[in-house]
Amino acid sequence: MKIAIFGFGAVGRGVAKVLMDRERMSRVLGDYSVVAVADSRGSMVSDSVDLRKALEFKEKTGRLPEGMSVEEIIENVDFDVALELTPTNIETGEPGLTHIKKCLEKGAHVVTSNKGPLVVAYRELERLARKKGVRLMFEATVGGAMPVIKLIRRNLAGNRIESIKGILNGTCNYILSRMEREKLSYRQILAEAKELGIAEANESYDVEGIDSAAKLVILANAVMGMDVKFEDVEVNGITEITPEAFEIALEKGYTIRLIAEVSESELKVGPRLVSLNNPLCVHGTLNAMLIQTDLAGEVFVIGRGAGSVETASAVISDLADIRACSDDL
Amino acid sequence: MKIAIFGFGAVGRGVAKVLMDRERMSRVLGDYSVVAVADSRGSMVSDSVDLRKALEFKEKTGRLPEGMSVEEIIENVDFDVALELTPTNIETGEPGLTHIKKCLEKGAHVVTSNKGPLVVAYRELERLARKKGVRLMFEATVGGAMPVIKLIRRNLAGNRIESIKGILNGTCNYILSRMEREKLSYRQILAEAKELGIAEANESYDVEGIDSAAKLVILANAVMGMDVKFEDVEVNGITEITPEAFEIALEKGYTIRLIAEVSESELKVGPRLVSLNNPLCVHGTLNAMLIQTDLAGEVFVIGRGAGSVETASAVISDLADIRACSDDL
């Protein structure tokens, strides 16, 4: 299996680190080599890229060495699977959208952690992959290391998915669970979360519910057979929640969580009261998801929604799935 | 895909009912037909067995019509996948063990809900399947509709599984969660559970921890790469737990659950104190499982551990997996 890695941020570097454990990874991927690694400013291309060198170069200089662009690599380098791990832009989907299209057109499988292209053009990409007889996998886009997409598609194959309800953003959950326990204001906890690197400098993408809504769009389209856009989601964030709201909720045995929910009649993200006994009441940066099905009943899962190596785990599971179901790899 | 069903108890009938929804099932299984259905006393064999008739006959008479035995079907009927759904015997593994061996020898894939053959001879069966180039799938043996085996093998592919800790027996969990809430004695709740059909007439298999231990052996061998036998499990049941024990536990914020746990150094089933805040503290007949991994961190799952249609869901997911990864089906 010849692998090209596009994007060398936290996820790309996490994947590279995991792929360096060749003995372990070859048990699930068979023979493999990384034939290209690229970020927005440079790349390394060879029959077998030295991942340790790539990581060292990136760490020292903040970029990869000058070389072919991603587009040039897609045109000129032979690979079986592209890992599209560039940053998310949910408005244009770029640059991931163009990368994914060109890779699928070329007949390469694609594994992505990039929500943007899927939010913008899931149906189109899915049709293109089917037409070309290749796989488009995106476990890492929703829930990080928490099994979600393949859990529903494979482990619950044959079930009708009636609804999904979940906590899909670890930053919000971290802020809310600290507000619950420490009775501090949203602003105070947010400031601390930024210091700890749990919230980004520009936090709005997370705390306004945009990230959760993007993930919900992916779930709705990919595992519930819907055809919805980001604009179809009713979105509310957590910025207006007060310590007093928590006090009142806790008195009655509830807490507050940012819940994303999809069913035939609903597609929304917003703060909800959650019973303290409800397994959805997870703490810290964890993600959680309740899947209502007709045969299996309720299936509930909790996992780490973010993190470099955790997200790499999801990417590797997609690669392993492609390999398990492709005779030619 | 030509399917033979061996065993027509609750699980076999659940699978038959689900397979009757041809439109839905063909989306995950492709073209399929059931070419044989057999129980211990009879069978129906044809190019496409009328499942409705089979279910009606079984309901009226308690058996299938006189016909070929399972062994005769394996020898004489052409099928791609056998569903081995006969009752569990964890001492001999029979009759499932012989059925599975003969099917694998013949070059057919096997999907089973029968713990016995796997507890007695997992390594042997796994080697045989590999040698013959066919699949041996057994999602339904552990956790019912709760994703377990494929969750670990596929969704967590590439991870090292450090430990698994779970509630794998719904009958015990039902009894313990009622003892927790109602302060009644073990004997009282057991009697009621029997009336409700949640506990069997001979309850010892469940309440003495034997069923949980059998499932733990399957997990240890199949997803943790161990090679252990039933005798290697340290097993304690729930029969000695008193209402007073619950009282003391609850005062300190704990409850009692029957926990099965496996790691490199441990393989045991027994009652444990579980914090009321721990997601493992599930109620009723639910199953739950905490998987500790090195890349994905902790992954936690809850689901329905038993039930006819629920277990059928697990069987169907195995069939779908075989189909997704086999070019010839």
Model pLDDT for residues B295-320, shown as the tens digit of each residue: 999 999 999 998 999 999 999 999 99
> What is residue A326's predicted lDDT score, i.e. its pLDDT?
78
Q: Cα A159 to the chain's mean position, in Å?
A: 23
Contact (CB<8Å) B300/A303 = yes
B contact test, residue of A295, A300, A309, A310 with most B CBs within 10 A: A295
Taking the CB of residue A265, how many other CB atoms lie within 10 A of it?
6
Residues A140, A117 contacting (CB under 8 angstroms): no
Contact (CB<8Å) B304/A293 = no
CB pairs under 8 A between A and B: 142
In the three-class reduction of DSSP (H, G, I as helix; E, B as strand; rest coil), residue B266 is classed as coil
Angle between the A186-195 and A170-182 helix axes, to the nearest 10 degrees? 130
**Confidence class of residue B329 from pLDDT cuts 50, 70 and 90?**
low
Contact (CB<8Å) A297/B307 = yes
Q: Go through the domains of chain A in sequence order and give each one's CATH number.
A: 2-145+308-325 (3.40.50.720), 153-304 (3.30.360.10)
Residues B272, B257 contacting (CB under 8 angstroms): yes
Give the residue among B159, B280, B302, B314 at the shortest CA–CA distance from A289. B302
Nearest to B299 among A24, A303, A325 (CB): A303
Contact (CB<8Å) A154/B154 = yes
Residues B134, B104 contacting (CB under 8 angstroms): yes
Nearest to A151 among B145, B151, B321 (CB): B151
Burial of A264 (0-12, 13-18, 19+ CB in 10 A): exposed
B contact test, residue of A13, A29, A155, A224 with most B CBs within 10 A: A155
Cβ-based contacts of A145 with chain B (< 8 Å): 295-297, 299
Nearest to B297 among A29, A301, A304 (CB): A304
Give the residue among B168, B278, B180, B176 at the shortest CA–CA distance from A281. B278
> What is residue B55's predicted lDDT score, i.e. its pLDDT?
98
Model pLDDT for residues B174-205, shown as the tens digit of each residue: 999 999 999 999 999 999 999 999 998 889 99
Contact (CB<8Å) A295/B156 = no
Cβ-based contacts of B320 with chain A (< 8 Å): 154, 157-158
The Cα A178–Cα A189 span in angstroms is 7
Chain A: residue nearest B149 by CA? A155
Tokens of B84: 């081995």
Cβ-based contacts of A25 with chain B (< 8 Å): 158
Chain B nearest-CA distance from A297, in A, is 7
Residue A246 to residues A185, A273, B28, Cα–Cα distance (Å)? 10, 9, 45
A contact test, residue of B150, B274, B313, B326 with most A CBs within 10 A: B313
> What is residue A325's predicted lDDT score, i.e. its pLDDT?
85
Cβ-based contacts of A307 with chain B (< 8 Å): 297
Rounded to 5, what percent of chain A is helix, strand, coil?
A: 45, 20, 35
Cis peptide upstream of residue B243 (ω within 30 degrees of 0): no
Return per-residue pLDDT of chain A as tens, 329 residues.
999 999 999 999 999 999 999 999 999 999 999 999 999 999 999 999 999 999 999 999 999 999 999 999 999 999 999 999 999 999 999 999 999 999 999 999 999 999 999 999 999 999 999 999 999 999 999 999 999 999 999 999 999 999 999 999 999 999 999 999 999 999 999 999 999 999 988 899 999 999 999 999 999 999 999 999 999 999 999 999 999 999 999 999 999 999 999 999 999 999 999 999 889 999 999 999 999 999 999 999 999 998 999 999 999 999 999 999 876 66
pTM for this predicted structure: 0.96
> What is residue B328's predicted lDDT score, i.e. its pLDDT?
67
Contact (CB<8Å) B296/A302 = no
Chain A nearest-CA distance from B224, in A, is 14
Residues A177, A281 contacting (CB under 8 angstroms): no
Residue A147 C-beta-side C-alpha neighbours within 13 Å: 32
Taking the CB of residue B152, how many other CB atoms lie within 10 A of it?
23
Nearest to A327 among B302, B304, B327 (CB): B327
Mean pLDDT of B109-117: 98
Contact (CB<8Å) A154/B301 = no
Contact (CB<8Å) B155/A160 = no
Cis peptide upstream of residue B95 (ω within 30 degrees of 0): yes
Burial of A318 (0-12, 13-18, 19+ CB in 10 A): buried
DSSP letters along B8-76, please?
-SHHHHHHHHHHT-HHHHHHHH-S-EEEEEE-SS-EEESSS--HHHHHHHHHHHSSPPS---HHHHHHH
Question: Which residues of chain A approach chain B closer than 8 Å at the C-beta?
Answer: 18, 24-25, 28-29, 139, 145-147, 150-151, 154-160, 279, 282, 293, 295-304, 307, 309-310, 312-314, 316-317, 320-321, 324-325, 327
pLDDT exceeding 90 applies to what percent of chain B?
A: 95
Q: Is A215 a catalytic residue?
A: yes
Chain B: residue nearest A301 by CA? B301
B contact test, residue of A313, A321, A326, A327 with most B CBs within 10 A: A313
Q: Of the listed A2, A115, A165, A215, which one is catalytic?
A: A215
> What is residue A328's predicted lDDT score, i.e. its pLDDT?
67
Q: Which residues pair with A263 in a beta bridge?
A: A163
In the three-class reduction of DSSP (H, G, I as helix; E, B as strand; rest coil), residue A44 is classed as strand
Nearest to A28 among B158, B320, B325 (CB): B158
Contact (CB<8Å) A299/B146 = yes
What is the 3 state secondary structure string of A58-85? HHHHCCCCCCCCHHHHHHHCCCCEEEEC
Mean pLDDT of B104-118: 98
Contact (CB<8Å) A24/B160 = yes
Nearest to A157 among B299, B303, B316 (CB): B316
Contact (CB<8Å) B313/A18 = no
Model pLDDT for residues B23-38, shown as the tens digit of each residue: 999 999 999 999 999 9
Contact (CB<8Å) A297/B310 = yes
Residues A222, A139 contacting (CB under 8 angstroms): no
In this predicted complex, what is the ipTM?
0.95
